[in-house]
Amino acid sequence: MSPLRALRAEQRPLRLPPHVRLAAVVALVALAAALPLSQPTYVNFDLSMAMVYAVAGLGLNLLTGNTGQLSLGHSAFFAVGSYTAALMIGGGAHYLLTIPVAGVASFALGFVIGLPALRLRGLQLALVTLALALTVPAIVKRLDRFTHGFEGMSVVAASAPTWTGLADDQWRYYLCLAALAFALVVAHRIASGRTGRAMTAVRDNEVVANAMGIRAARLKTLVFATSAAFAAIAGVLYTLVVQFVGPEAFGLTLAVSLVTLIVVGGLGATWGAVLGGLFVVYAPKYLAEVNQSASGVAYGAALIACMFVAPYGLVSLIRWCGRRLRR
């Protein structure tokens, strides 16, 4: 079996009765809503960060998993969103306003960059987007008059309204949860609709897709821009949760983490971004507790082990277990 056919076979949706799916969704929503009310601040922070990365991963998965275009530069759009929020909040804007502004700005920027970049394929595209990821932090450092350069910027925002009775960390958790829920719905509708079928056709065979009347270049550019908007929105959420932005947070490590997220979660699987977000937050954290000096080696070993156990992502592993249980 070819790798592509194997990928499709492993990621074939697990068909469940409608009432079972509804019950599962209700249970997940109830659990997610109740979780921050009983957890300490550091747990809510970690879960919020996992959701932040999941939002960025959803956009990157549309581009890489569904359309077949590998990008190593989405940390740049993440940084654009983060600094947009920091500068706007510093100028007196309401923090909620920064979310649509950053999303629209990065969509436009992604569209402009995508026009020439997506004429390339494979490794060439990966290298071009990698250059973008390396360039943006350098630009941020140069524009120290606005960004404070290496020192970074503190951002005090997203405090819980008094009428909610929530702590600040709980309020930020719910902001991230709402953004993730919205991103999941949008990503699912794109991937499961007519546009998603066109994206899959381009991923499988671009020449055949063009022959079928699909304007592959235009589609890839629009998907690139959309994924950039997802990353920027995640960047805004990052600023609200961490309350600090600095250029070192948006370098190569973040770029690789976003790719790791979608590979571990499952390429082309919408819910894979959520599992991948949990992995990139909690795997380094717990491995560092085991051995601080060898946390990097342990993380790499865990990633390799994950690829052996679930080569098509954690979502495919869950689906495989579900099919086994139903037999």
8, part of any domain: no
Q: Spell out the residues 6+ positions from residue 197 whose beta carbon is closer than 8 angstroms to its own.
A: none
Per the domain annotation, does 157 fall within a domain? Answer: yes
pLDDT at 9: 47
Question: What pLDDT shows up at residue 18?
Answer: 65
Beta-strand pair 153-154/244-245: antiparallel
How would you label 38-66 residue by residue, b for 16+ Cβ within 10 Å and e otherwise?
ebeeeebbebbbbbbbbbbbbbbbbbbbb
Asked if residue 64 belongs to a domain, the reply is yes
Domain residue limits at 86 = 42-251
- Residue 302: is it exposed, middle or buried by C-beta count within 10 angstroms (0-12/13-18/19+)? middle
Structure confidence at residue 286 (pLDDT): 81
The tokens of 52 are what?
């932040």
**What is the per-residue pLDDT for 293?**
64
Q: How many domains does the chain have?
A: 1
Ranges of residues in the chain with a pLDDT under 70 are 1-21, 117-118, 291-296, 298, 302, 325-327
290 assigned to some structural domain: no
- Pairwise CA distance, residues 97 & 75, whole Å: 22
pLDDT of residue 298: 65
Collapsing DSSP states into helix, strand and coil, what is residue 306? Answer: helix
pLDDT of residue 287: 76
| Domain contains 185 | yes
Say what the pLDDT of residue 6 is.
Answer: 46
Which pLDDT score, from 0 to 100, does residue 217 have? Answer: 85
Residue 30 within a domain? no
Whether 20 is in a domain gets the answer no
Give the pLDDT score at 158: 81
Separation CA 151–CA 144 (nearest Å): 9
Res 100: pLDDT: 96
Residue 280 lies in a domain: no
